[in-house]
Structure 1
Amino acid sequence: MTMLIGFLDHLSAVPAPTSSVIPASDQSPGSGTPVWVTLLVGLAGALLASAGAFAGAWRSSRALRQNTERTLEHERTRLLNERFGTAAALLGHNEAACRLAGVHAMAGLADDWAERRQTCIDVLCAYLRMPYPRGLAEDTPADEDSTGQANREVRLTVIRTIRDHLLPATPPETSWSGYDLDFTGAVFDGGDFSNARFSGGKVRFTGATFSGGLVSFYGATFSGGSVGFYGATFSGSEVLFRGAAFSSDVVNFRGATFSSGSVNFRGATLSSGSVHFDRAKFSGGEVGFYGATFSSGKVSFYGAKFSGGSVKFEDVTFASGAVNFDRAKFSGATVTFHRARFDGGVVDMRDVTTWSRPPSFDDGLLTAPPAGLLLPSPLPRPKP
C-alpha cells in the first residue's frame, strides 16, 4: 500500500506534456486570419495604388492634351486672323490686280474659317456697296477708261465668286446658302447670279440700282428666309429672273421703281409665301411675266402705279393663291393679260384707285370675266 501511494505521488509531480497544434492550411501561423484574406488585402492595395498612379497619369495626359489643343487653336486663330488682314488689305489696294487677289483670298478664307464665314461674306458684300461712279458703257474701250473697266471687273468677280458658292453643286461644307447677303444700296451694271440658291438667311438688295448691262438671276431659287428689293431702282439694266423660283417666306419689291430697261420674269414660278410689289412704280421700260406661274401664296400690287412703259402678264397661269391690285393706279402704262389662264387662282382688281388706262384682256373677258378675275363693279369707264 505504501508503495502504491508513493507511485501515485510521483505521477502527479510529472508535468503534463504540451499539446502540439498543427495550423490549418488556410490560416497564417500565429494568427487567426485566413491566408486568402491576407493575399486579397495585399492585392487590393496594389490595385488601388496602381489605379491612383493611372488616374494621376491620365489627368496629367488630359491636361497636356487640352493645353496642346488650346495652343494649336490659338495658333490657328492667329494665322486665320493674319490671312483676314492680308485679304482685307488687298481689297483696299489701289491696283485692281491686287484687289482681284483680295477677292479670291477672302473667299478662300471664308471656306476655311466656318466660324467667321459670315464676316468674310460681309466684307465682299461691303465691297459692292462702296461708292461706284457710273457712266461707263459696257462696251467702253479699255484704253479710254482703263481704271473704270478695271473697277468693274473686280466687282463682277465679287458677284461671280458669291454666285459660285451658291450653286447647287457647291459642297455643303463650303456653301454660302443660308448666310446673309447684304447688297443694300449697291450699284449693279452687270453680274451673273444664274442658278444661285438663295435659301434661308436674309438677302437684301434694298435701295440697289440696276443701271446698265445684264444682271442675270436666270434659274435662281429664292426659298426660305427673306429676299428684299425694297426701293430698288431698275433703270437701264436688262435684269433676268427668267425661270426663277420664288418660294421664300417673303420676296419684297415694295417701293421699287421700274423706269427703263427691262425686267424679265419669263417662266418664273411664284409659289407659297408672299411676293410684294406694293407701291412699286412702273414708269418706263418693260416688265414681263411671260408664261410665269402664280401658284399658291400671295402676290400683292397694293398701291402700285402703272404710269408708263409696259407690264405684260401674257400667257401667265394663275393657279391657286391670290394676286391683289388693291389701290393700284392704271394711268398710262400698257398692262396686258392676253392669253392668261385662271386655273383656280384669283386676280382681284375690285378696289383699284385709277382706271384711266385699264389693263387689256382677251376679247370678252371684261364683259364676262372668268371666276378667278374680280373686276371693279360697276366697271369704271376709262378716262380719255
Structure 2
Amino acid sequence: MAISLRRKRDASRGRYTPNLWPVWIVAPVAMMAVGVAAWAIYQYAYDHFAQAAGSQVPAEPVDVNDVIKATVTVLTLVGAVLAGLYAYRKQLLSEGDAHRADASQLADRYTTAAEQLGHDQAAVRLAGVYALARLADDWQEQRQVCIDVLCAYLRMPYESSLDAPGHRVGEREVRFTVINVIRTHLQDRDANTSWCGYRLDFTGAVFDGGNFSGSHFDGPISFSHALFADGTVDFRGATFSGGEIDFSSAKFNGRVWFTNARFIGGIISFNQAEFNGGNVYFAGAHFTGSTLTFLLAKITDGMINFASAELRSGALYFNETTFSGGTVRFDNATFSGIKGDFRVSLFNGGTVSFANTILSAGTLSFANSTHGGGAVRFTDAAYDGTVIDWGPFPNPASN
C-alpha cells in the first residue's frame, strides 16, 4: 500500500491539472445523489410539518405544498453549492492550462539561454547570461538550476592570456558579467529575486578578478581547488552567515580581499590551500563564532593579512601548516575566547606577526611545531587570560 501511494504521488508530481473523475461516471452518480437527497429532504420536511401540525389543537392535516416548497428551497441551496463547486472545478482547469503554458514557456527560455551561453560570439554569450538570470528571477522552482548553470560556466576551462591556445575573445567580460549578476542577486536578502541561501559551486574555477563586495552568503559556497590568478577578487564588506565556505586546495597567486567582511558562525576552510605570491586580506574583518582553518596549507610567498581583525568565540587552526616564505600578519588584531592552534606546523621561513595583538580568554598553541627559520613575533602583544604553549619559540615575557 505504501509503495502504491508513493507511486501515485510520483505520478502526479509536476501536474498542474487536478485529477478529476470522468463525466460519464460523475453525471449518473450526481443524478442519483440528487434524487436520494430530494427524497430524504422531503421525508424530513414532511415529518417536521406533521409534528408541528399534530401539536396544534385541534390537529391539522399536513400541507403538502409547504413540504414541497421547503424541499425545493433546500435543493436550490444545494444546487447553488454545486454550481460553486463546478465553477471552482473550471477555475482549477483554467489554472492548470495557464501553469502548463507558463512551464512550457519557461522551459523554452531555459533552452534558448543555455544555447546562447555556448555560442562562439561573446555578445551572444552575454545575452545568455542575462537571459538565464532573468529566468531565475521568474522561475523560483528552478532557480537553483539556473544558478548552477551560471556557476558551471565559471568552472569551464578558461585562459586569460591572449596568447594561450584556448583563449576566447571577450570571454573575460562574459565571466565578469556572470560574477556581477550573482553579486547583484546577493545584495538584498528580502528581495523576491534574492539568491541568498542558494548553493554556489565554483569548484575548480579560475578567477582573474571579480567583485562580490557587499554580498550576503547565507548558503554553502565552494571555491575548492579554485585558482585565484592575477587580478583582484573582492569580498569587501560581504557577510558570511552560518554556511560552509570552502577554499580548500585553492591556489592564491593574485589578490583576494575580505576587508571588513563579517563571518557569523560556520566553517571557513583554507585546508591544503597554496599561497604562492598572492595576497589575502582579512584586515578589519569580524569573525563571531566561526571556525577558520588552514590545515596542511602551504605558505611560500605573498601575505595573509588579519591586521585589525576581530576574532571572537571561535577557533583558528593552522595545524600542520608549512611556513616557508611570505607573511602572516595578525597585527593589532583582537582574539577573544579564540582557540588558536599552530601545532605540528613547520616554520622554515617567512614571518608570522602578532604585533600589538590583544589575546584574551583563549588558548594559543605552537606545541610540536618545528622552527627551522623565519620569525614569529609578538611585539607589544597583550595577553589577558590566554593560555599559550610556545612550543619551540621563546616566551617573550622571559626576555
Other-structure match for 2:389: 375
Distance in 2 of aligned mates of 1:210 and 1:98: 26
Q: Give the 5 Å matches for 1:1-384.
A: 33-35=60-62, 38=64, 40-136=66-162, 148=168, 150-168=170-188, 171-199=190-218, 201-235=219-253, 237-354=254-371, 356-362=373-379, 371-372=385-386, 374-376=388-390, 379=393
Code of the residue aligned with 2:111 in structure 1: it is G
Measured on the aligned residues, the alpha-carbon RMSD in Å equals: 2.6
Distance 1:154 1:249, change over 3 A: same
How far the C-alpha of 1:189 sits from its partner, in A, is: 0.1
2: CA distance, partners of 1:314 / 1:174: 40
CA drift at 1:370: 5.9
Question: Is the 8 Å Cα contact of residues 320 and 345 (structure 1) preserved in structure 2?
Answer: yes
TM-score (norm 1): 0.82
Offset at residue 148 of structure 1 (A): 4.2
- CA spacing shift, 1:345–1:136, aligned 2, 3 Å: farther
Structure 2: which 5+ residue stretches go unaligned? Answer: 1-52
Displacement, 1:345?
Answer: 3.3
CA gap 1:136/1:336 in 2 versus in 1, 3 angstroms: farther
- Alignment deviations for residues 72-116 of structure 1 (CA, whole Å, 9 cap, x no partner): 100010011111111111111111001111111100010111100
Distance verdict in 2 for CA 1:324–1:378, change over 3 Å: closer
Q: Which has the higher helix share?
A: 2
Going from structure 1 to structure 2, the CA distance change for 1:379 and 1:238 (only over 3 Å counts) comes to: closer
Question: Structure 1 residues 149 and 342, CA, compared in 2 at 3 Å: closer, same or farther?
Answer: farther
Q: TM-score, normalized by length of structure 2?
A: 0.79
Instruction: Output one character per residue of 1:273-329: Cα deviation in whole Å (capped at 9) or x when no partner.
Output: 311111111111111111111111111111111111111111111122211112111
Partner letter of residue 207 of structure 1? H
Gaps of 5+ in 1: 1-25, 138-143
3-state DSSP of counterpart to 1:133: coil
- Structure with bigger gyration radius: 1
Distance in structure 2 (CA, Å) of the matches to 1:131 and 1:378: 44
Change (3 A) 1:331 1:350: same
User: Retained in 1: the 8 A contact 2:122–2:169?
Assistant: no
2-structure distance, mates of 1:43, 1:279: 90
Aligned length: 340
Provide the C-alpha distance between the structure 1 equivalents of 2:151 and 2:385, rounded to a whole number of angstroms: 46
Identity between Structure 1 and Structure 2 (%): 40
Offset of residue 39 of structure 1: 5.0
